[in-house]
Structure 1
Amino acid sequence: MYYWDYIYSRDKNCIISLDTSPKKFNKMPKGYLDIKIFTSDGTPIKNAYIKISAPDEFNEFIININALGYYPTKINNVQFRPGSLCTLNVNLNPIPLKNQVLNHDQIINLPKYESVQNIQNILELQQDEVRNLSFSLGVDSPEDTLIYLYAKKFTDEVYRLSDGKIKIEIFTDAKLGADREMIKSIIQDGYPDFIVQTTAPQVDFVPKLSVFDMPMVYSDVNNLRNTIRNDVFFQKISNAYSDSGYKLLGLSDILFRQMTSNKPIQNIDDFNEIKIRTIQNPNHIAFWESLGATVIPLPVSEIYPSLKFGYIDSEENSYEVIAGFKLYEVQDYLINTKHLPHIISLITSNNLYNSLSTAEKAIIDEAATIATLYTCRMAIERFEEREQILIDNGMTIIDLPEETKQAMKSAALPLYEKIREIIGDDALVDTYFQNSNFI
């Protein structure tokens, strides 16, 4: 699928050129679309947001029209002839103000265009009241994982605190894209509206999050949480998100990342040439390469089939993810490496958050706080249950000898300075290390 976005203004001509054939045949002439939009009584609409999409390679387009205060309109199966002009006169029906539900396109896309002059008046009508709002939330994980439960608790609390006015639909199993796709599209396309995911795929977009990629720093979850909840540290991380266009709502953990394998790991030499899947994160890749492993970065959805068909020998993840994706069916051993914390964040975009009223922001913030504390508690409560699931399904749990852990730290020493340079904030790194067990 490919699509075009336009802002319609009655004061300007809105003639849109469109490819009338698949992109690979780009020598074909273009078709042209002239759109005029009116209210149901014939009054011209001043501004509207137009999204034109081509779901396949045929000359059939879908046109979605959103104008603030009017019911959305969808036109299917619009065709264009090469070099010809297609004219559409579209009538929109107004929504009574008391019944208005501002959807994703109206909240996110309209405010960013200067041609939309009436949006501020609409948003200020009930500045401190809670409107009927509808949002989406994407996760890369299946249900019955803590990432999903974090999202579910957040959405439930938003619904409760808003008396049912704010509804958030959760999309699991990467239905809205893999982690990297979602972290990019939430800014570029304004969709999904919220994300819960691990911080690891976010470092290309928020470089200071690389602090969580410094290996073998923490092995005690209480010390880790004391750092994450440190006001100075949290504010620095929050500012890092904000500088890149994101709003950090919550930061939790689901304990630590561990290694699974089809061969037992006991000493540093056992890592040599093992084919391991990692997150698509340059710091994670560098760490495993420092141990002598062959690294194959993959989205989480591709882990199971890659293990099943022998494309990789091992992978690394939290107990939650290992159990949730049933990796015990294709892996024999879980090695307690605790090489990295499994940090997850609940985020939205600055654009969306800033479009909310004071009361709506308070609801989102409070729901995020409740959900974050809930997730931390559930991570501890569910650990033994997840571990037992793995054991009951045939996995052997291996605790690494202390000398192997120290050898892993030594091998990774060059990476610490590299990450410190990426972060460019010594105070942030020093604050992260202050409760660590790093020697």
Structure 2
Amino acid sequence: MACNTLVDITKLSPKFQDLYAKAKDFVENECIPAEPLFAAQMGQGDQRWKVIPPVIEDLKKKARSLGLWNLFLGRDYAEGAGLTNLEYSLIAELTGRCPHLAPESMNCSAPDTGNMEVFAKYGNAAQKKKWLEPLLQGKIRSAFAMTEKRVASSDATNIETSIVRNGNEYVINGLKWWISGAGDPRCAVYLVMGKTDPNNKNPHRQQSIIIVPAGTPGVTVVRPMHVFGYDDAPEGHCEIVFKDVRVPLENMVLGEGRGFEIIQGRLGPGRIHHCMRSIGMAERALEYMMARVTDPSRRTFGKYLYEHGTIVADIAKSRMDIDQARFMVLNAAKRIDEVKAKGAMKEIGMAKAIVPTMLLTVLDRAMQAHGAAGISQDFPLARWYASGRTLRYADGPDEVHIAQIGKVELRRAEGIKQQFEKRDNASAKLLADNKPKL
């Protein structure tokens, strides 16, 4: 496991140092060894959608006893562990090394993390009591229903799901898809984004977030979507129909027209969590690659694999790519600590645009070094590649973040031109004052 030399961990809080050491030991010596058991307990066919492997609950008990619980909720929340975003990012990297077990075992897995943050930041006392508390305890799971099938919902102003007030209730109608976690038998609640005021002249005041308990009449989970053939049971990424779904008025979060405000507050730190977990996954992929190419039984054309120049170059490139991406993410996390997520949107966007592509590149090199085994079920690399590819869409596609970064940079253009003009004038003056005498 590579050492993180970008941050001097000994200079961070003693509480973090203790949690980091425990998390490192827990991931390496409890979660990773449990991966084969998890796969064995998953079962086959439809059973995978009904039974949660018992090893998950065992790991959750161990994590909670160690204090490795709800670490993602930072200093702004009484319910959290009090870590900075920078500190949690370093722990999230550790959990990314075992992406299908460690985050959930520590109650730090998406989409629950973002949903818990919504309840903690924007929910009222009753909503927190009913939904946040069991989520924090790991008793239930949740889903965030925003993406839609019939529109380009990477621009959230396009969403069509309607939320109409009718007496003492809201009536919800719409079609959502790629709703992560909706297939989990423990999923007890959806946070649904829809339009309460579609004619509002401000397109960012049309949307609202409303709580819909799972099992409410009119909610139908149609199917899990597949990612390169993987259905990601038991959580899944599901298509859901909301047809004349009725919920009480008190299920509205924060108030009508506040949906955009909520999703921006939800997504900022969460994007960094995804990125750091991706770096942990990339680190482990590189470890698989190095173990494979130094295996004495692996020789081609009279050489060990590691003696081929292309292999050495790929290892070097992966090392550089991972460390560059880590710097971007830690810089973004530090900026969030300094100026909150809204003030760090450029840094968050850069990290979010860079890291998923880095992960896919590192995984591709590792798979190539394994030959056909790299894309088989005998190694986790292909599954990680499939899940990593979704991150180029999750929490906003690359193109949206890149466009935002460009717009932020262009705000400096006028000042740059003024600076150029000032320098040109100064140069002209110097030339005039020092004109050679004839």
Asked if these proteins are the same fold (TM beyond 0.5), I'd say no
Q: Flag the structure with higher helix content.
A: 2
- Range class of TM-score, shorter chain: under 0.3
The structure showing larger relative contact order (alpha-carbon pairs under 8 Å, at least 6 residues apart) is 1
Q: Flag the structure with higher strand content.
A: 1
